[in-house]
Amino acid sequence: MKKNLEQNKFRTALVKEIDIFLERTGMSKSSFGLFLFNDGKFLPQFWRGADIKISSIGKIREFLDNYNYEQPQRRGDDASA
């Protein structure tokens, strides 16, 4: 029971953080999913309670933590170019 409560708290916190990110950047939910997972329905499914892999959480965390708010990013952009 305690594990489920902790998972729900974590999910809720991540959802809020993604919502803030989307609002701040103007990025759509489908663009977020397409950019990270090539899946435009990723976020709506996650919002409805779909389970995601730990590696997906890591990818989301890394993206949110390293997003350059001054330079919009596009799929396939190479930072070294």
pLDDT band at 78 (very low <50, low <70, confident <90, very high): very low
Verdict on whether the full-model pTM lies above 0.85: no
73 CB-side CA count, 13 A: 17
Alpha-carbon distance values, 26 to 19, 58, 60 (Å):
10, 22, 17
The DSSP letter of residue 53 is -
Backbone angles phi, psi at 73, to 5 degrees: -105, 150
- pLDDT tens digits for 2-47? 668 787 888 899 999 999 999 999 999 999 999 999 999 999 999 8
